[in-house]
Structure 1
Amino acid sequence: MTIFLYELQNCIDVSRVESTAAHDKPPRRRDRPPREAKPLHKTSPKQPFLPDRAGRRRAQTAARRREPHAAAKMVLAQLGGSISRALAQMSNATVVDEKVIAECLNEISRALLQSDVQFKMVRDMQSNIKRIVDLESLAAGANKRRIIQQAVFSELCNMLDPGKPSFTPKKAKPSVVMFVGLQGSGKTTTCTKYAYYHQQKGFKPSLVCADTFRAGAFDQLKQNATKARIPFYGSYMESDPVKIAVEGVERFREEKSDLIIVDTSGRHKQEAALFEEMRQVAEATKPDLVIFVMDGSIGQAAFDQAHAFKQSASVGAVIITKMDGHAKGGGALSAVAATKSPVIFIGTGEHIDEFEVFDVKPFVSRLLGMGDLSGLMNKIQDVMPAEQQPELLQKLAEGTFTLRILYEQFQNLLKMGPIGQVFSMFPGFSSELMPKGSDKESQAKIKRYMTIMDSMTDAELDSTNPKLMSESRIIRIARGSGRLVRDVMDMLEEYKKLAKMWSKMKLKIPKNGDMSAMTRNMNANNMSKVIPPHMLKQMGGIGGLQSLMKQFGGGKDISKMLGGMGDGN
């Protein structure tokens, strides 16, 4: 399935995704005269006529005013892209000397500073890398480029990893977790996400609303908890947050809840009274863990704000919110440095399930375009049962890539989450390659193709050559699915591309099912035929691909990349 996803990046080309409205526009009847064109702008003494270009400029300016964060969107992806480009320029240099290294580090430092990482942190990182990459002390023949890349990777990981683990709740053992954070950081929503995540893991979570400062706080928590079917406690009448917190914790302890989450009032570092209130709630409830919720787009103020919370409460972990668009990412680094606490989750959207466990190395790896194949394997294992994988790979090896197989893989892909997020796990892929809104467009395109396949017969879905359909049959499929003939033709064209890709693989699976023998036949040359050219270039060509395959332990683990099948022993 992994290789299928590689090729799917080309097939689901969002630049070719046209709007459904444009597709569904009926053709003009030839016997009907065209309507008289209306002027684009109404003229009046108060409103002079504006040419088209000026009108567009005015509309664009108004749109920017309505969306103040538009200029900052995808800056996290730009940070990774800037660092990747700096490393790529160094790799393309004929000779890696002090000047090349200095230029590379300056570009990386500039990218981090533009992403609101604190200046002292950037300066320290630059000094550490220079100390590690000492050209005079390196042995002759050492791969300087690889050493520099690893040094940058390690320093970014060190920025985000304080070196101490966070408290982990345990089932059947009551734990109290207290949430603190700035006003508007998404703390109340994050409480529900945190509870829902652990509920899916078999915990019995509960929510206590001790936020009596913000109007509507209890209503919001009540609404979120009801949707997630999580028990909650709060009061419209009581104004003492300490009393509410104590009563809520005692009640849920009696009800055998093993994860009691206390939501507190949002506060600012200058609000001494609210910080005193936070200390009182912490003393009364004695939480096992205090989580600091931070808005990922807060910027340079993140360090000071996080430091103020650390002084008032024993912050043990950090959750970064709003990482789905306009987060610069530097605030995450600064918050870790200020609190000396690890980031445990990141919020990637408004929905309750848009909540990811934060793992430092995969995060930095994806940020630098190095991918996260282990995370990708986990996602594939989650959506595709292991017992189905040998059967699928056997069919593909026999050359029977059918529309039904394509349909099943589309289903698996949609289950894996946002497409851009999945593709960012591939080595060499940059989030900058995904335009704004491309996730929704790509998912809409996949669903459109699946709707078309729903109108096909079993014989057509299981055929190894559905492209021989007659024109009249294609028209009937279009009518039955409510799509245009052009959509059906596009879907068949995408199928043809994927079928051709599999024919290039030339996989040979032994009859005895020994997967290790099959993977010995697999090499970088075969893999390079199915990987998109731009991605192969970013991976360093066939040589870089060979290095990647070696990192995964050779043939045994390449079988996991192909379908998660293992040895077969």
Structure 2
Amino acid sequence: MVLRNLGSSITNALKKLVGATTVDADLIRELKNDLLKALLAADVKLEIAIKVADYVEERALKEELPPGIPRQKHIVSIVHDQLVKVMGAQEEKLNITPGKTNTLLFVGIQGSGKTTCVAKVANWLNKRGMKPSMVCADTDRPGAYEQLKQLGDKIHVPVYGDPEAKNAIKLAQKGVAEFAKKKREVILIDTAGRHRKERAMLKEMHDIAKKIEPDEIILVIDGTLGQQAYEQARAFAAATDIGSIVVTKLDGSAKGGGALSACAATKAPIKFIGVGEKVDDFEKFDPTGFVGRLLNMGDIEALLESVKAAQIEPDEEAIKAFMTGKFTLRDMYAQMENIGKMGSIGKLLSFLPGFSQGLPEGLEDTSEENMKKFMCMMESMTADELNEPSIIKSSRVDRIAKGSGCTQAEVKQLLKQFFQMRKMMKQMKKGFGRRGAKIPNIGNLNALQKGMDIPKKYRRGK
């Protein structure tokens, strides 16, 4: 989970509050200090962190309780709402108009993952039925065109560029003209990475924007930068009109709060976050859903969006078996094929209440690579073993291990995770904790596939 340390720190602070018999000024002050420490540890800018903590304290002490709502629950809601506000308040969409050619200009410092980010946005658009194209206007970095071309071939998106060209402005103009002629719906332009102190490079960025007049300029911020992100973002905002932000590398960063503060410097919303190296490790940024996962409350709407983007066709009987904890290894194999399109079991469960900050014991090792290994083991099993895993004893484990090229310990690990998952799904069906959250039923998933509205209980409050 992105910013897991920040989320667990805030959640632990809230647990003290929820578990208290009485809520007084001292307890609220303690919550304020814990919240401030958690935000600063995640490299959120000091002024922003203080503003959030002070606002939570003021509302918690002075605000009248809504009828029938316990004070503890009301304060949790205050913390949630203020974090959402800091991160942009509401989800913002890309500035794309259907039926016309749209241009998106990507800017950012060197090493921010900008070129990969351009491909991720193109892939995201491609999966939603649009016709994206990419232009390499980076004449500064050796291999820039080759990298973008390789990514374009992988996601089946055309790329324009010239490794020999020296004039980035003319190159961008030619690329836009070429794809506009071919009636490509969205043209994404990758530019050279630049530092806030490189005045010539910042001027080039300004000149490209002036010549091609993009519909939106997207600033790509490295999630590992910490508080430096604020100054970098401010310099880019001074040089050109930043319309939105993409934060990359948030999956492995404890300092992502600094990058999230960048929206305060640019007054531009964060629209996407990068959560891994692969082109599919990319999420639309919704402040409400993000904070929900941060506080271990889950994000069902994002889960349904991922299912739709992966073009998964739900099998009613199989999912019903999963949701009641009555599935077999054969069912698990079929679902692993679907889950593989979404990344991993860990990514899938991160959207569910109670699992946003980590997986239950026995399910930690669920990477895409391990899922493929598990599937290989299942392919070495008999029909009886797939249908009734409890019959798999030592001699069968040995045979399966040899047939799949794995160790006996790995086969035992697969079985352990299978039974652990069955147990977990039964618990999920009953609901989680005091919030009583439940996973969506098959009807909800099928409704989504048919383009119907998401059921009201899974929608975010807007």
What's the TM-score, normalizing by structure 2? 0.85
Distance 1:228 1:559 in 2: 31
Q: 1:287 aligns with which of 214, 222, 237?
A: 214
Q: 2:430 aligns with which of 527, 535, 541?
A: 527
Q: 1:455 aligns with which of 361, 366, 380?
A: 380
8 Å Cα contact 2:272/2:282 also seen in 1: yes
Distance 1:274 1:565 in 2: 50
Q: 1:109 to 1:75 in 2, by over 3 A?
A: farther
Q: 1:127 to 1:458 in 2, by over 3 A?
A: same
Residue identity in the other structure for 1:385: E
Deviations 1:165-184 (A, max 9, x none): 44432444101111111121
Q: 1:410 aligns with which of 311, 336, 360?
A: 336
Q: Pairwise mapping of residues 152-301 of structure 1 onto structure 2 (< 5 A)?
A: 152-161=79-88, 165-301=92-228
Three-state SS of the structure 2 residue aligned to 1:376 is helix
Residue identity in the other structure for 1:412: N
Three-state SS of the structure 2 residue aligned to 1:260 is strand
Q: Quote how far apart the aligned CAs of 1:230 are.
A: 2.4
Q: Quote how far apart the aligned CAs of 1:420 are.
A: 2.7
Distance 1:417 1:146 in 2: 34
Distance 1:278 1:215 in 2: 18
Deviations 1:236-271 (A, max 9, x none): 343222211112211211121111112222222222
Q: 1:334 aligns with which of 257, 261, 269?
A: 261
Q: Does 1:560 align with 2:444?
A: no
Distance 2:398 2:200 in 1: 70
Query: In the alignment, which residue of structure 1 is the partner of 2:71?
Result: 144
Q: Does 1:385 align with 2:313?
A: yes
8 Å Cα contact 1:320/1:347 also seen in 2: yes
Distance 2:64 2:128 in 1: 50
Distance 1:213 1:415 in 2: 35
Distance 1:176 1:136 in 2: 46
8 Å Cα contact 1:453/1:461 also seen in 2: yes
Query: In the alignment, which residue of structure 2 is the partner of 1:132?
Result: 59
Q: Quote how far apart the aligned CAs of 1:282 are.
A: 0.9
Q: Quote how far apart the aligned CAs of 1:439 are.
A: 6.4
8 Å Cα contact 1:183/1:267 also seen in 2: yes
Distance 2:116 2:423 in 1: 46
Q: 1:289 to 1:450 in 2, by over 3 A?
A: same
Q: Quote how far apart the aligned CAs of 1:327 are.
A: 4.8
Distance 1:213 1:396 in 2: 53
8 Å Cα contact 1:166/1:316 also seen in 2: no
Q: 1:239 to 1:135 in 2, by over 3 A?
A: same
8 Å Cα contact 1:98/1:135 also seen in 2: no
Distance 2:12 2:90 in 1: 29
Query: In the alignment, which residue of structure 2 is the partner of 1:479?
Result: 402
8 Å Cα contact 2:14/2:76 also seen in 1: yes
8 Å Cα contact 1:191/1:263 also seen in 2: yes
Residue identity in the other structure for 2:430: M
Three-state SS of the structure 2 residue aligned to 1:297 is coil
Query: In the alignment, which residue of structure 2 is the partner of 1:44?
Result: none
Q: Quote how far apart the aligned CAs of 1:443 are.
A: 4.4
Q: Does 1:427 align with 2:427?
A: no
Q: 1:248 to 1:150 in 2, by over 3 A?
A: same
Q: Quote how far apart the aligned CAs of 1:138 are.
A: 3.7
Residue identity in the other structure for 2:175: G
Residue identity in the other structure for 2:441: K
Q: 1:233 to 1:83 in 2, by over 3 A?
A: same
Question: More deviation in 337-346 or 160-169?
Answer: 160-169
Distance 2:266 2:225 in 1: 16
Deviations 1:355-403 (A, max 9, x none): 21111111111111111123234445656524x2146527987x96433
Deviations 1:278-335 (A, max 9, x none): 1111111010000001001111121221112112211111000111212522123211
What's the TM-score, normalizing by structure 1? 0.70
Q: 1:428 to 1:285 in 2, by over 3 A?
A: same
Deviations 1:499-518 (A, max 9, x none): 6778x78xxxxxxxxxxxxx
Q: 1:181 to 1:440 in 2, by over 3 A?
A: farther
Residue identity in the other structure for 1:336: C
Q: 1:307 aligns with which of 222, 234, 241?
A: 234
Q: 1:250 to 1:445 in 2, by over 3 A?
A: closer
Q: Quote how far apart the aligned CAs of 1:445 are.
A: 4.5
Distance 2:88 2:167 in 1: 37
Query: In the alignment, which residue of structure 1 is the partner of 2:43?
Result: 116
Distance 1:392 1:139 in 2: 39
Q: 1:344 to 1:295 in 2, by over 3 A?
A: same
Q: Does 1:367 align with 2:290?
A: no
Three-state SS of the structure 2 residue aligned to 1:207 is strand
Residue identity in the other structure for 2:274: G
Three-state SS of the structure 2 residue aligned to 1:324 is helix
Q: 1:78 to 1:561 in 2, by over 3 A?
A: farther
Distance 2:346 2:12 in 1: 20
Q: 1:228 to 1:489 in 2, by over 3 A?
A: closer
Distance 1:149 1:344 in 2: 25
Query: In the alignment, which residue of structure 2 is the partner of 1:43?
Result: none
RMSD, matched Cα: 3.2
Residue identity in the other structure for 2:404: S
Q: Quote how far apart the aligned CAs of 1:85 are.
A: 0.8
For this pair of structures, how many residues does the alignment match? 445
8 Å Cα contact 2:346/2:367 also seen in 1: no
Identity %: 39
Query: In the alignment, which residue of structure 2 is the partner of 1:317?
Result: 244
Distance 2:423 2:197 in 1: 63
Residue identity in the other structure for 2:313: P
Question: More deviation in 426-435 or 352-361?
Answer: 426-435
Q: Quote how far apart the aligned CAs of 1:135 are.
A: 4.8
Q: Which structure 1 segments of 5+ residues have no match?
A: 1-73, 506-523, 529-535, 550-557
Q: Quote how far apart the aligned CAs of 1:141 are.
A: 6.6
Q: Which structure 2 segments of 5+ residues have no match?
A: 448-462
Q: Pairwise mapping of residues 8-87 of structure 1 onto structure 2 (< 5 A)?
A: 76-87=3-14
8 Å Cα contact 1:207/1:232 also seen in 2: yes
Distance 1:346 1:559 in 2: 25
Q: Quote how far apart the aligned CAs of 1:444 are.
A: 4.8
8 Å Cα contact 2:91/2:286 also seen in 1: no
8 Å Cα contact 2:247/2:260 also seen in 1: no
Residue identity in the other structure for 2:284: V
Residue identity in the other structure for 1:467: S
Distance 1:333 1:136 in 2: 28
Q: 1:109 to 1:255 in 2, by over 3 A?
A: same
8 Å Cα contact 1:171/1:203 also seen in 2: no
Q: 1:448 to 1:268 in 2, by over 3 A?
A: closer
Residue identity in the other structure for 1:458: A
